Structure 1
Amino acid sequence: MSRRFRRLPLALLPLVLVAALSGCGSDDGSSSDSGSQALDAVSISGDFGSEPTVDWKGKMTADTIENTTITEGDGATVEDGDTVTTNIWIGNGFTQKKAFSTYDAKQPQDLTIDDQKVSPVFVDAIKGATIGSRIAVTAPADKAFGASGNTQLGIGNKDSVLIIIDLMSEPTPPLDAPKGASKPSPAWAPKLVQKDGAVTSLDFSKAPEPDGKLHSAALIQGTGAVVKKGQTITVNYLGQVYGGKKPFDESYSKGDPVSFGIGSGQVIPGWDKTLVGAKIGSRMILAIPPADGYGKAGQPSAGIKGTDTLYFVVDILGAS
């Protein structure tokens, strides 16, 4: 989803993680399940699937990348090209402080095991492991994240890093399109303009003026699971202000759906309030007043005034 729909500062969390994962780390000198000596500097406790407790005994020194399986799962083996849902904890071995955790935002991350998309330090740790495993990675920052370290995480290139990865599950592949029974369009909704099955714009010629209330309805009632607060959902969407002649943003023409956390403040309130509780496979139509959108300030970069009501069509294709 376009960053203009995200709210700060929580909006930065996925961007920080992506920046960390897209570093140019190297696997030179790495080893696997070797019983890392660097781990002698910490004590790691806590149950798989919950945020680990890390007690530092002193500064961590790491000369190479080392992977250690703390808990071995009994699920499927992760192979090249697989996508796996993970929780990730990152600590700075020099400052002995947590730098990042997906547990803070209750936002697991789906990673595709492909070193063109994900830093090799993560690929090497995850590939060949089994779902249900907790893996610890110790590494010098320059080998984990590249020559500059990772300034967004507060990790210098001379620091050491501790990365703890919980392999949660293999996510269900998202749908290609909405799936379910068609429902009548509500009286407040504009008409959808479509081409080759994709929504291209909204037609307000017969739609009543906004009433200042938040509205949502399913145009296609999905048959999948209910979307829950804190999940990551995958959607196609289009947004247009009331009376607008064209969308201010959309994903249909870009070829790939987008994923983001829902119910956790990462998107405008109107999305959090209406998409939690909807079913996977649904096509939702939303009318969002300024109070549940961008407020009185609007979003000038998108051409949205503080008085504009936003209308969205959202295809919910998956959730993890």
Structure 2
Amino acid sequence: MKNSNTIIDKAILTIDIESKAIANLKKLINIDFEKAVNFIFNSKGRVIITGIGKSAIIANKIVATMNSTGTPAIFMHAADAIHGDLGNIQEDDIVICISKSGNTPEIKVLVPLIKNYGNKIIALTGNPNSFLATNADFLLNCEVEKEACPNNLAPTTSTTAQLVMGDALAICLLDLRDFTSKDFAKYHPGGALGKRLYLRVSDLISNHEMPLVTSNTNIKDVIIEISKKRLGATAVIDNQKISGMITDGDIRRMLEKNDNISKLQAKDIMSLSPKTLNVDAMAIDALNTLENFGITQILVLNDEKKYVGIIHLHDLIKEGIF
């Protein structure tokens, strides 16, 4: 059994080998890369990405990245392509073929068929002298010195390079399309990520009651209002304007300082300058405000600066945003 130092050293060596290969990709980005990006951007068709073995797995990931960033893409397995899946390719589609060697039997059969269809081919390969590279319209060179595998056999460094080159392609296309976080939200409506992009403060307060008291409300009634509305705080409103805010923390501090609270009113313990947020703000903005000021509640106002509710940190945790 190998000792822990050997394991750690091997892990660090693997990362070193792959990180050096990725850094070297910068030297391989050339005019062909630029032409490929512009061709995809100006195309009316989709991007069909194909490969076999580990390259097929990388192709699937690049397809997912492109689809989520505004470039329509479809995965087509190289082996299945020559057994019927070539029907996926439409007239204006562009085909990206991924292959480390660029000389696999499936690729050698597939490339001429695609060219007969009249579709452009982008080669993403680690062998710039391969059959794929020399027969493609654009070459994205992903050449690596060696695999991280000690036998230089298992695809490791090479597939990492393919993935990074695919990311570079997708991000350049994203930039050309002026793809914003709002566009991103359209494709990611589910999960915590989607909620960060589309959920608004108005969505979180829609089912809430609105705890409120006036400056002259006695402390007993303030405590009852906070407890009843279960948001850990209440707004203090006078003449339809915010005078302040009282939280559970304010109540605790008051009890620590005063033995007799019967004569105290809301104005005696309220915070005079509570943090506020517009009802149309993004929920993630509410989270950032709470974190920046180290608070757990924030008052919500409409466009007329009228009080419409309270956002609590628990609301954001419940939605998976925190």
TM-score in terms of structure 1 length: 0.22
> Which structure: larger Rg?
2
Judging by fraction of residues, say which structure has more strand: 1
Which protein has the bigger helix share? 2
Larger relative contact order (C-alpha < 8 A, sep ≥ 6)? 1
